[in-house]
Structure 1
């Protein structure tokens, strides 16, 4: 795979299609009265293949708004999942796909699976075509200021 490819939804594995459907479904619950731009995200954990969803939640002062991906991450982490296999993001843009913002990319990089990356699937609610990529393509030089494993072990 180069940086990304756009494929037909029907060509994807059942696991990926289910994840995208979850992102599209949760998107309908987004709280976005200011932008009217609803986004849904679904995360698949590496261990146990559990799905955690989230949607964007806006605030009138904008800064405390929460992106869909960052709404899903703490739900997984609260249940003890620290490695993600794949993420689906669903939003509607006429001429493009909605990728995670920079803060969400960096947040997701904290929870890369055992192969050091996360598969990313970007879809519109119509689920006809899907942009497939990896987090490493979206965030090639993620910020790391310490050895993550030693910090996680010290927190226990």
Structure 2
């Protein structure tokens, strides 16, 4: 699936060789989300995750003038209630100097199309509660906040302690 956007940028599925550009987007997103030192991912890990024998995640991207300027990184979920898979959007990011061109919406529409084509009833993600521009964008495309649900996470020592129990 490759789509040429109105300004000549290309929206497509990621392919081997895109890892460094995808990682640059992930690192820039971490800076935007006020966690500049949090990224442990590497080109090698992305290669294995996205293109290894059993891909565990997928990416769509926008490329303009040979540069990756936006990404949507996602993976499959499963709903016991619907009995079907869905898509979890892990990261949506467009570099500042390329925002306002419709790239974010194009990436979201591409993933929505994957859901519709494959019969997935859910397309979900989280957004930081302080990120008003992103929340407004998501509302503008019809997304509804799941106010009654909160994300829970185990990491580090707590994860290890529970694993030992």
The normalised TM-score by structure 1 is 0.31
Bigger radius of gyration, 1 or 2? Answer: 2
| Structure with the higher fraction of residues in helix conformation | 2
Identify which of structures 1 and 2 has the higher relative contact order when contacts are C-alpha pairs closer than 8 Å and 6+ apart: 1
